[in-house]
Amino acid sequence: MRQLYFHALHNGGFHRIAYTDWGDAANPHVVICVHGLARNSRDFDFLADALSADCHVICMDVVGRGDSDWLDNKSDYTFSTYTADGAAMIARASAPAEPKWFARDAPVTKLDWIGTSMGGMIGMFLAAKKNSPIRRLVLNDVGALIPWTALFRMKGYVGHGVRFPSLERVEANLREVCAPFGPLTDAQWRHLAEHSARREEDGSYVMRYDPAIARGMHGHVDAEFPLGPDVLRGIDLWNVWSKVACPTLVLRGAESDVLRPNILKQMKERKPDMESIEFAGVGHAPALMGADQISAVKRFLLQ
């Protein structure tokens, strides 16, 4: 695993986007993984490690999270920024690893996208674009309509800038807030804690995201895809979903409040070739750390 970064441009300035890089950089099968609202790239370590023998896996820290820069203008934490950065990540991931690949017989990159929650929304926006290079799309517990009740719940634990006296307290908080991730091992919870917080000079721990990211959780998500008639019910992405043409796998936690069964059913009706898998004992969102979840994703990407 390598930790790398690039500079993205938005609204008149550059900001740094960090990402972890797994597997053979010369492998033409590239998989980009993007996390949820207040999470970071290290959530995908278990999945990326399992995929790295077959794919070149890139896990991005969305701006304002992980090791990526925080934005000076907090109003720029929007999907317009996130999709622009995602497109830049795709361009970087698609670039040949060796100069000889510019030759006429260079392998064609196969580019897939795995997105958890917010990362899935970014993937939907990009997959819906004309001539999108995304070959296969995995949506982890997110769909074409995100209820306001679920958004308010998630916003409730973001933006407070809480300090923790120890890593053990960080882990205890994550076990409570992220309980819907499902049953994880002690080692997996500790992994999440170690990569979810950073230690300050006074010895306390703070979460590795800009508390201002919560400001971007409002009705307007992308001027190009305005909200539809379900605006009062939540963020309506049905227009975006109708433009997604690539094969798609939707993962759902059986107890999820973000991707409701009726929404998944309607998504399947509008896109009959869509595949879906539900995981019992899990809410929002499957952690993609267990063998059953990893094997489901791997099968879909490698078939």
Q: What angle do CA 154, 261, 220 make, to 5 degrees?
A: 45
Measuring CA to CA, how many Å separate 155 from each of 3, 163, 165, 213?
A: 29, 18, 23, 9
Q: How far apart are CA 220 and CA 102, in angstroms?
A: 40
Q: What confidence tens digit (pLDDT) does each residue in 216-272 have?
A: 655 444 455 444 444 446 789 999 999 999 999 999 999 999 999 999 999 999 999
Paired tokens of 272 = 């009959």
Paired tokens of 18 = 């960090």
Residues of the chain above pLDDT 70, percent: 89
Q: How far apart are CA 215 and CA 212, in angstroms?
A: 6
Q: What confidence tens digit (pLDDT) does each residue in 74-84 have?
A: 999 999 999 99
Q: Are 208 and 40 in contact (CB under 8 A)?
A: yes
Contacts of 101 (CB under 8 A, 6+ apart): 26, 107
Cα 106 from chain centroid (whole Å): 29
Other Cβ atoms less than 10 A from the Cβ of 78: the count is 20
Q: What angle do CA 24, 30, 33 make, to 5 degrees?
A: 110
Q: Which helix (H) or strand (E) holds 34?
A: strand 29-34
pLDDT at residue 222 in the model: 47
Place 106 in a pLDDT band, splitting at 50, 70 and 90: low
**Domains of the chain by range and CATH?**
2-302 (3.40.50.1820)
Assess whether pLDDT exceeds 90 at residue 160: no
Q: H helices within the chain, ranges in order?
A: 45-51, 79-94, 118-127, 148-155, 167-177, 186-196, 238-241, 261-270, 291-302
Cα 253 from chain centroid (whole Å): 16
Q: What confidence tens digit (pLDDT) does each residue in 175-203 have?
A: 999 999 999 999 999 999 999 999 999 99
- 10 Å CB burial of residue 273 (0-12, 13-18, 19+) is exposed
Q: Pairing relation of β-strands 13-22 and 2-10? A: antiparallel
